[in-house]
Structure 1
Amino acid sequence: MGIKPSSLRPPWSSPAPPATEGGGTPVWLPHDVVFDILSWMPVKSACRFKSVCREWRALINDPGFVAAHKARAEPLLAIAANSCDEPSTLRLIDMDGHIIKVIKNSHPILRFVCSSPGNLVCVVGYSLETARVLNLATGEATVIHRKFSFMGFGRAAPSGAYKMVSISPSTCEILTVGDDVGWRQTQPLPSSISYNSRPVVVRGVMYLMLAPQLNGDSVTCFDLESEKWNGGIKGPPNIQLHRFDITLEELNGALCMLQPEVGNIYHGTMSIWLLIDSRKGVWIKVYSIPVDPSAYGPIVPLRILRDNGKLLFHVTLKIDEFAVLQIYDPRHRTFTDAPKMLAGDNGGGISFCSLHLDSFLPATV
């Protein structure tokens, strides 16, 4: 006898396509079970499942399902590959190594300007005068003339507007992508503050690492929605604020600070701290990583991997080679190269981004 459909059906409810037992007897799955299973599927798989039947197509197109899928989706690894003979490419890869999308570009991508939680990413190449905002869903590129080299990019909350921020010692200018207004002046940095690392954007807030401050604050933050500076945040305990090799990154949706414990960023041990309470300045140390003394550059953390706590990062091992992806196992304090299907070949920037299910669905359902 088949399982009765759940009484908790969504609006599109109708019997789900039957699964079959060993003897071929149909088994009707409750719709909330089908909903839950499909919402954990990768983007590419969910799109393919739309062709199973009309009911599944309606389910996957429904805004409620799209929202649930977005909340559960793992970010995508964005890897730029540059070639002298062919257009550069940006490959979007899920954490299982599946290529979700390949975007061809006419210009090389040397690095990403912050990470992106949505469908737009900002990249820079060899030009000192321009940056490009790439639409991951359509592949379209928007060229933006840069104001200053010190620049952040991110998505404001709750409006969802993408904004680019350029900072100089005396001014701060902001541009909202797509509004045709261009650069405009906004609240400048406080006159007593200087900075010593690239901006990082996390959940709609841009963070800057500060030069040593008398009050002990080591990070300042700029809210992309209100376009105002919101004061300073104290760093982790016993941090050496006089050092200029402390950097900020985004890690699993949180702000993290990289602090050399012994030696410097190229030798010794690197601590990685996560900010868990910005109001009280509470940080937790999640990794203490031995640094390869032969490496040309410092490690750049990308993602704490789900379920096993291992750290995916990239590092430049030699001056004449591109960065490579590696995985650090904190339990055994060992390093391994990332699987070839995940790392591939890159000749430019590496970052994380998001490309959600709604990018592949019709604008109206």
Structure 2
Amino acid sequence: MNPRDSHPVSLPIDVTIQILARLPTKSLLRFRSVCKLWREVLSQKQFVDLHFALSSRTRGVAIESPDHAASTPDLRAESGVYYVCNPMTREFRVLPRTRERPFTRSEPEYEATLVGLGFDPATWRIHVAIAGFHRSFGRWPRGGDRRLVCKVFDAATGAWTRFAASMCDEFTCMNRNQSVYAGCSMNWLTHCCRYVSVLDLENMLWGKITLPDEVLATRQGTRFYLLELEGSVSVVQMSRFWMSTWVLKDRAKEEWALVDRVNLRCIDGYAASVFPISQTKDVVFMATQKKILMHDRNSRVWKEVYGVEGNFTYPLWFSAFTFGSTLFPCRQGALGS
């Protein structure tokens, strides 16, 4: 054996980058300690963007345990202080306080009625939006007197922008936190399930997008969920036997397209309580109280990907989240840089 053959062969850096970009995030975090060159390469924006583009083709499912709730979500709030975190890298950044004065009876914590987080992987720009109906002296305003107070955090400026708008919409407890970020806007499904409430983050204006006519005509006795699909706003309509998925094709013209209609008879025992939690063009993730199901849109096959046994009372539809693996730096000072 030639002694020179025992020495490792050095690959071109371009080939090394392509190999590393296809590895899981946890492996890359360990590989940062291999050498200074790898640490530098894995920290560059070009590599992070490449890794995100490749890893975004697959989705993972994270289960938030009540005992370890802080390790999974991307946005958290404690006593008026919000922070954003990357659960894969365990880095986080505390956002500036939304207000300095303490909450009082005449100025309650109205801000958390609506909560939304937006992340643009192309620019690494993060937006956080919180909004709520102002009520003075502990009374809820009625009719046209309702004033929605909004605050938007922009990582580019590092500050909150506050504005108010007149709005009479209602939101269910679940819809308040189910926002979809698309086209530099935050979207929430209203309680009446007739339209989507839209917050334009560029112009700080509220708008509405009416749901498809077919959805409005058949909404009696059905449930609705707002999700993201390939960077667009999507509405999922569920009845006992069918699940219809619509995607917004043209925001200005309010044009929707039917993406898929799935027969739920194969999961008839769960159809009444199953919730869609995420989707791609190929699969849909659904959550019941104790199971996570996956539907393959190409093969039309259902598969159980996670299940809890025993007396588990914390419903998975509240604690299950899907995510795309990313090395996006979320440490203090990294957002928007």
1:226 corresponds to = 203
CA separation of 1:28 and 1:360: change in aligned 2, threshold 3 A: farther
Whether the 8 Å contact between 1:122 and 1:153 is mirrored in structure 2 is no
Provide, for residues 153-207 of structure 1, a one-character-per-residue CA deviation record: whole Å limited to 9, x for no partner: 1237675232222357722122346999889442233x6x666782522234222
Aligned equivalent of 1:46, options 28, 39, 46: 28
Structure 2 CA distance for aligned equivalents of residues 362 and 57 of structure 1: 19
* Residue matched to 1:162: 128
- 1:161 and 1:357 map into 2 onto residues whose CA distance is 18
- Separation in 2 of the partners of 1:68 and 1:33? 13
Corresponding residue of 1:36: 18
Higher relative helix content? 2
Question: Match of 1:326, SS?
Answer: strand
**Displacement after TM superposition at 1:337 (Å):** 0.8
Q: CA deviation at 1:352?
A: 3.1
1:180-219 alignment, distance < 5 Å: 184-189=162-167, 198=175, 200-203=179-182, 204-209=184-189, 218-219=195-196
Contact 2:94–2:332 at 8 Å: present in 1 too? no
Q: CA-to-partner distance for each residue in 1:71-103, whole Å, 9 max, x for gaps?
A: 433365332112xxxxx114xxxxxxxxxxx82
> What secondary structure does 1:246 align onto?
strand
Residue 322 of structure 2 is matched in structure 1 by 352
User: Contact 2:190 / 2:197 at 8 angstroms: preserved in 1?
Assistant: yes
In structure 2, the CA distance between the partners of 1:358 and 1:330, relative to structure 1 (3 Å rule), is closer
1:79/1:166 CA distance change after superposition, 3 Å: farther
Is contact 2:294–2:303 with CA below 8 Å preserved after alignment? yes
| Bigger relative CO (Cα 8 Å, ≥ 6 apart) | 2
On the 8 A contact 2:284/2:294 being kept in 1, the answer is yes
State whether structure 2 residue 213 is matched by structure 1 residue 247.
no
Q: Is the 8 A contact 1:81 1:346 kept in 2?
A: no
For 2:214, which of 230, 235, 238 is the aligned residue?
238
Partner of 2:295: 328
> 1:161 aligns to what SS in structure 2?
strand
Q: Which residue pairs with 2:305 in the alignment?
A: 338
> Is the Cα–Cα contact under 8 Å of residues 208 and 219 in structure 1 kept in the other structure?
yes
- How far residue 269 of structure 1 moved from its aligned partner, in angstroms, is 0.8
Specify the alignment match of 1:268 in structure 2.
241
Structure 1 gaps, min length 5: 1-22, 83-87, 91-101, 105-111, 113-119, 316-321
- Secondary structure in 2 matching 1:359: coil
Paired AA for residue 229 in structure 2 = L
The RMSD of aligned alpha carbons is 4.3
Q: TM-score, normalised by structure 2?
A: 0.66
1:116-155 matches, within 5 Å, as 120-122=74-76, 133=83, 135-136=85-86, 137-138=90-91, 146-147=109-110, 150-155=113-118
With over 3 angstroms needed to count, the CA separation of the structure-2 counterparts of 1:54 and 1:363, relative to structure 1, is farther
Cα distance change of structure 1 residues 222 and 328 upon mapping to structure 2, 3 Å threshold:
same
Shift of 1:327: 1.0
Of residues 39, 49, 63, the one that matches 1:79 is: 63
The whole-number CA distance in structure 2 between the counterparts of 1:55 and 1:180 is: 31
Aligned to 1:18: none
2:304, 2:45 → 1: CA distance? 39
Q: Is the 8 A contact 1:61 1:361 kept in 2?
A: no
Cα separation, partners in 2 of 1:58 and 1:293, compared to 1, 3 Å: closer
Verify the 8 A CA contact 1:152 1:206 in the aligned structure 2: no
